[in-house]
Chains A and B, each alone.
Chain A
Amino acid sequence: MAAPESGDGNNGAARMVTLISSDNTRFEVEAAAASLSQTLQLTILDGGGGGGDGIPLPNVDSATLSKVLEYCIKHAPAAANGGAPNATAVDRAELERFDNEFVNIDQSVLYSLIMAAHNLEIEGLQSLVAKKVADMIKGKSPMEIRRTLGFPDPTPEEQAEMNAHMLEYGWAYE
Chain B
Amino acid sequence: MAILVAATVVAVAGGGGGTGRRSFRLIGLFFYYRPTRLTASVYSSDSGDWVDSVATLFVPSTISFIQSPSTLVGNAIYWLLNDAKTIIQFDLESQSLASVEQPRRGRGHADVDRRRHAFPDHSRLIVPADNGYFGLAILSERSIKFWERETQLSGAATWLLRRTVQLDRVLADLELEEQTSPLRIVGFAEENNVIFVSADDCIFMIHVESMQFKKVKIEISHRRLNAMTRRRRHPLPENDDLLAEILLCLPPHPSSLPHAGLVCKRWRRLIIDPHFVRRFSARHQTPPLLGFFRTLDDEAQSRLPASQFSLRGWRGRMPTLNWTLFDCRHRLVLYGFAPKFRITEFVVTNPMTGHRRRILNTEHDDRVVAAAVVAAEGEISFHRSFRLVVLLSPD
Interface residues of A (CB under 8 A from B): 107-108, 111, 114-115, 118, 126-127, 130-131, 133-135, 137-151, 154, 158, 161-162, 165-174
Contacts and interface: CB of A to CB of B under 8 A. Distances in A.
A172 B305 contact: yes
A111 B236 contact: yes
A149 B235 contact: yes
Nearest to A131: B249
A144 B265 CA distance: 16
Nearest to B249: A134
A171 B308 contact: yes
Interface residues of B, number: 42
Q: Which of A118, A135, A171 has the most CB of B within 10 A?
A: A171
B312 A150 contact: no
A102 to B, nearest CB: 16
A166 to B, nearest CB: 6
Top 7 A-B residue pairs of the complex, sorted by shortest distance between their CB atoms:
A150-B233, A134-B249, A172-B307, A108-B234, A142-B262, A170-B313, A130-B245
Given A111-B237, A169-B313, A151 B229 contact: no
Contacts of A169: 258, 261-262, 313, 354
B241 A145 contact: no
B242 A114 contact: yes
B223 interface: yes
B262 A108 contact: no
B100 interface: no
B250 interface: yes
27 contacts: A111-B237, A114-B237, A115-B237, A115-B239, A130-B245, A130-B249, A131-B249, A133-B249, A138-B251, A139-B255, A142-B262, A142-B263, A145-B263, A146-B264, A147-B229, A149-B233, A149-B235, A158-B264, A162-B262, A165-B261, A166-B262, A166-B313, A169-B354, A170-B310, A170-B311, A171-B262, A174-B225
A142 B250 contact: no
Contacts of A126: 242, 245
Interface in B236-273: 236-237, 239, 241-242, 245-251, 253, 255-256, 258-265, 268
A112 to B, nearest CB: 8
Nearest to A133: B246
Contacts of B230: 147
B263 A118 contact: no
Contacts of A174: 222, 225
B264 A151 contact: yes
Contacts of A111: 234-237
B232 interface: yes
A143 to B, nearest CB: 8
Contact of B225 (A134, A144, A151): A144
Nearest to A154: B264
Contacts of B250: 134, 137-138
Nearest to B268: A165
Interface string B302-332: 0001011011111000000000000000000
A107 B260 contact: no
A140 B259 contact: yes
Contacts of B223: 139-140, 144
Nearest to A162: B262
B232 A150 contact: yes
A148 B225 CA distance: 10
Contacts of A108: 233-234
B258 A134 contact: no
Contacts of A146: 263-264
Given A130-B242, A133-B236, A137-B250, 6 more contacts: A130-B249, A133-B249, A142-B263, A158-B264, A166-B262, A170-B312
B90 to A, nearest CB: 31
Contacts of A144: 223, 225, 229
A141 B230 CA distance: 14
B312 A172 contact: yes
B304 to A, nearest CB: 9
Contacts of A135: 249
A163 to B, nearest CB: 9
Contacts of B251: 138
A92 to B, nearest CB: 20
Given A169-B258, A169-B354, A170-B310, A149 B236 contact: yes
Given A107-B233, A133-B236, A166-B313, A145 B260 contact: yes
Interface string B107-145: 000000000000000000000000000000000000000
